[in-house]
Amino acid sequence: MTKKDKQDFNFESALKNLEQLVSSMENGELSLEDSLKAFEKGIKLTRECQTALKEAEQKIQILINEEGDIEKIKAKDES
């Protein structure tokens, strides 16, 4: 995402849009071509949401480290 995209990005809106895309695809409301477009858009939204979550986690980690009282939080995918 570019800096402008980050400013315009709304996580809740993107997640709602993603849920609507999935629902439309699951209900068979779309043609094959529209399903492929929806899938492509869904992948893009998923990546943007993952990026936003990762950035939020990093900000939280920075705040926790500044306090110095709390141990480092491991991400779910870390062992």
Amino acid letter, residue 56: A
Global confidence as pTM: 0.67
Is the pLDDT score of 67 beyond 80?
A: no
Domain ranges of the chain: 3-67
Q: How far apart are alpha carbons 60 and 54 in whole angstroms?
A: 10
How many CB atoms within 10 Å of residue 52? Answer: 17
pLDDT tens for 7-28 read 678 999 999 999 999 999 999 8
Q: CATH homologous superfamily of domain 3-67? A: Exonuclease VII, small subunit (1.10.287.1040)
Q: What is the pLDDT confidence band of residue 64, given thresholds at 50, 70 and 90?
A: confident
